[in-house]
Structure 1
């Protein structure tokens, strides 16, 4: 972790569990101005890790017979996904990112294409409605035919799943997830934020936007309505390990639901890499170390990853308070950075311990 800090991340903190033993640690600062240190118990905006929580909530409704995985989404949300698209796209396709619906984020934040932070600053306190973001995604050119063999990761799918949850439960999705997933897992420091500020101890969250914000700017105060049931959760590393441990132990959804969540297909991630993705779960195979399940997530200034071995005995959750640190070359391609190698070393040590193998990156 000290190596990650030395490589350029202001602050990094983590919790690793191994067969009943727990290690927590932190390195660096939570505030580059004051030098306030990061601590292992800090709250973090965990980004797309939220998707596993949303997927678990949907699977609970599948178990109760209110949702069918292979039902057309137009059966539930005809106003949001009308016509042929609504008939072709199923709930399962939203969960595994094979719907062909593009991500709305480049359209909600148009300055990202430059890249420029103008949109990030303009929307800091904006209250988005899920329907308007979904409309942006549906209006963009499709990424493929619904149900194709190769998925394309899209946040639009996950706002639709939030609307689906509200439609079938009669309760706002965030409330349903809080009551039936977060509270069921016994998580005490995980919540959808009620406003732009994070309650409890937390770090500032620095966004570099591939060198276009220099020095990196703090976005820890931000209205998360732009991502909702896709990436808005705040949590701690302890809570994330607790959640994934209980999920893989069949205590959040049934064993049959978990088996559905672990049926993976190749999906093109937002960074262009191909990952093995199930229903709200990444699968990560590490030679000589095991198969891990979990998710990673980024929002402005905050990055988090949480992975649990399939036997639930080895777990790792890591948070950093700087994002998009890579700077582009003359062609605009982000260049390799020492932070990438330092994080790779940390992940291997955390997941594999003294048997950490060497080799190419294994985390998306």
Structure 2
């Protein structure tokens, strides 16, 4: 009788053990020396969640170098474009891959704006200047726990790239156990200044650098920003209905990409203008089965399809890049906002705190 009871107890333990979810790994943070820039050591940090998903980040440009997430067959693949070395990230072929962009992401017309009666002339009309946040060395603090995170900070001095005010910037990258990458931005200043922050990761959910034309894309936006050939906004919002820019229903990226010109590079005015987190877009890659949902508190979404990539550029593991070989879904306020009073406000003043959140959630179907 004892043997029978022992056997039953053993079977119950086995059933309970199999019924209870077993994490592949304990959430962890590791780091390795990645190189040296400006006499400072650059490290690559790896965040791993309980499912084995990984995010890799370097403190040069607060750059996301890798996102490893499973396909429908549970096989991990790197779903962002990247390079093998710090030298490449610091080189001319790096089009802000995975980097933090600021002080003002995207464009500022004529490299200038007027604020409180003073005109400011900038070093460049795009992405914060030739030495914007993407080319700065950030401080990193590890945040261990049930959900692992990195806190990255940068101090942007008054006058840097032409922008006014000493700006303290923080971004926290959190990898959740629901396979989400959360980006929480904050900033404070001692002088009124425009602030538009984003992350410029190039996604390829197939785990390759192949063309993204077959992806199904949905964007929760009924309008986009009219812009000229240099992608500089006119200030007008136009309806997407009846245009190549309509992704209000799941639509293949390549369906109208030729009609869009050289590819997609435009800003959408999202339906959600509450300032609260909400779904902005969904991308589905049919071969791998990977799905990426984008949630944000921001009013705008920039869609870019790697229009200027070519086989000349060699990325991670010797893979060459391809035109339309990636999809950027950059959450931010509208481009050139300081020069358009009808656009949502981007001016941060002393005593205020800029806050923004974006979530990239990965799954399969």
Smaller-chain TM-score range?
Answer: under 0.3
TM-score of the superposition, structure 2-length normalised? 0.27
**Which is greater in Rg?**
2
- Higher helix residue share: 1
